[in-house]
């Protein structure tokens, strides 16, 4: 047994016992008028449990824990805090949230907060939004080892931008600010890893001088992206003869749209930076699809709506592909879907803000934590008085614990 998937193995054993008891013998009909929520789809007729039994080798303990936490979110089984009103003596139990990437309720709150934080830390300069895409053949190669090969995508996209600045400024060593985010699926919920970037249209020299860079040749940037990503993937997949052959074919392939298959889309004049931050945040801590885009579900699958090329499309995704898409957006534990490079890296962030703004206003982690807690007051619904925490219940290492304040 794989020691990394102990939880999956134990959970599948419990499911096998339920099957032997006849609990799953009769399929449950799709409830009419039920809200099209992700947790409803996963729990109806044991959709997620059936997927797990059929693909137990593809699901990690971390992915299973995330799904189970989302299904238990805001329930008594998550634990919570009991508040006591000092005025009227009324008590109220507030359950804990899961704060998971897969949870639409927790993810929306986190995405909004992350989007505002992203805008607040950006430098006072013009930015450009870049999207680095791949061919379907490379999608499948990345899926074989997401944790390692996505690092190659980040490195290749960053290097492509750096080469553009090197071509423009040569030995001046102008350093741009780069924020990169990995998206694992497209709007149609199909596996489609691609990189979003927010890049400053210029950079700082080692002496603090600002150099503007607004001309970005499309064909050159696309060629850099293709060269960097294929070179990195070929190095890490050199042990596989089939993978090397597939990558070698990519060098000479021609495409009907006239591109080399490795498209770099870029958008200038990003006036609504807050909207862009919210857009990127949805993929940082949010399911691959908003529940407002789920039109319904039945025996054939899940009907979704998505927008492409300024047109609204509708399609049906099988329940198996729907679950697989949700799980693909839960990266390995400890993996960072957001990367900060150049002037936005921790090494240069304070220096860059000081050079451009005159004062460093980047808050420390402790200051940010205190700001979050400062407005955390709960009011009594009966008398309007302030409620104080009285007890906290939570599960730790498989044991239920109670703390009295």
Percent of all residues in the chain with a pLDDT value above 70, rounded to a whole number:
81
Sign of the torsion formed by the C-alpha atoms of 236, 242, 246 and 251 = positive
**Is 12 or 27 the better-scoring residue by pLDDT?**
12
User: What would the pLDDT profile of 194-244 be if each residue is shown by its tens digit?
Assistant: 999 999 999 999 988 899 998 888 889 999 999 999 999 999 998 888 888
Tell me which residue of 195, 157, 161, 154 sits closest to 175, measured CA to CA: 161
CA–CA separation, 326 and 322 (whole Å): 6
Query: Does the structure show a pLDDT above 60 at 187?
Result: yes
User: Which pTM does this prediction carry?
Assistant: 0.80
Rounded Cα–Cα distance for residues 218 and 266 (Å): 9
- The residue among 324 and 74 whose pLDDT is bigger is 324
Helix (H, G, I), strand (E, B) or coil at 304: strand
Among 276, 93, 271, which residue's Cα sits nearest to residue 181? 276
Cα distances (Å, whole numbers) of residue 99 to 21, 106, 198, 306 = 34, 5, 26, 26
pLDDT in tens, 344-366: 999 998 888 888 876 444 444 44
Contact between 197 and 161 under an 8 Å Cβ cutoff? The reply is: yes
CA separation (Å) from 352 to 30, 126, 177, 201?
56, 15, 9, 14
Is the pLDDT at 2 greater than 60, yes or no? Answer: no
Give the strand pairing for 80-85 and 386-396: antiparallel
Ordered structural domains, the chain, with CATH: 104-288+329-362 (3.40.1310)
132-164, pLDDT tens digit by residue? 999 989 999 998 888 889 999 999 999 999 999
Q: Is 50 exceeded by the pLDDT of residue 29?
A: yes
Tokens of 247: 């990558």
């Amino acid at each position: 047994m794989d020691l990394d998937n102990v939880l999956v193995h134990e959970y599948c054993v419990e499911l096998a016992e339920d099957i032997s008891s006849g609990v799953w013998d009769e399929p449950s009909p799709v409830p009419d008028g039920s809200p099209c929520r992700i947790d409803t789809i996963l729990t109806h007729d044991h959709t997620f449990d059936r997927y797990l039994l059929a693909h137990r080798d593809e699901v990690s303990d971390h992915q299973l824990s995330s799904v189970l936490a989302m299904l238990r979110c805001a329930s008594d089984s998550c634990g919570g805090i009991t508040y006591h009103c000092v005025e009227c003596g009324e008590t109220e139990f507030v359950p804990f949230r899961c704060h998971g990437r897969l949870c639409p309720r927790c993810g929306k709150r986190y995405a909004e907060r992350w989007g505002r934080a992203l805008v607040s830390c950006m430098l006072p300069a013009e930015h450009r939004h870049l999207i680095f895409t791949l061919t379907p053949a490379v999608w499948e190669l990345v899926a074989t080892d997401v944790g390692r090969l996505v690092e190659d995508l980040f490195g290749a996209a960053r290097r492509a931008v750096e080469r553009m600045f090197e071509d423009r400024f040569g030995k001046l060593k102008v350093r741009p600010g780069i924020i990169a985010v990995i998206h694992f699926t497209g709007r149609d919920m199909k596996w489609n890893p691609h990189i979003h970037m927010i890049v400053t249209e210029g950079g700082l020299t080692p002496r603090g001088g600002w150099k503007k860079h607004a001309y970005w040749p499309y064909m050159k940037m696309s060629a850099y992206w293709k060269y960097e990503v294929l070179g990195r993937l070929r190095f890490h997949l050199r042990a596989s003869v089939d993978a090397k052959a597939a990558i070698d074919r990519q060098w000479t392939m021609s495409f009907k749209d006239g591109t080399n298959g490795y498209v770099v889309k870029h958008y200038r004049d990003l006036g609504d930076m807050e909207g862009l931050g919210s857009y990127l945040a949805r993929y940082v801590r949010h399911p691959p699809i908003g529940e407002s885009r789920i039109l319904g579900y039945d025996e054939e699958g899940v009907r979704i709506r998505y927008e492409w090329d300024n047109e609204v499309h509708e399609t049906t995704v099988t329940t198996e592909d729907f679950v697989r898409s949700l799980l693909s957006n839960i990266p390995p534990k400890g993996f960072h879907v957001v990367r900060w490079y150049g002037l936005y890296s921790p090494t240069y962030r304070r220096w860059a803000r000081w050079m451009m703004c005159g004062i460093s206003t980047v808050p420390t982690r402790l200051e940010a934590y205190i700001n979050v807690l400062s407005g955390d007051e709960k009011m009594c619904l009966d008398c309007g008085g302030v409620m104080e925490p009285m007890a906290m219940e939570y599960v730790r290492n498989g044991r239920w614990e109670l703390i009295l304040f």
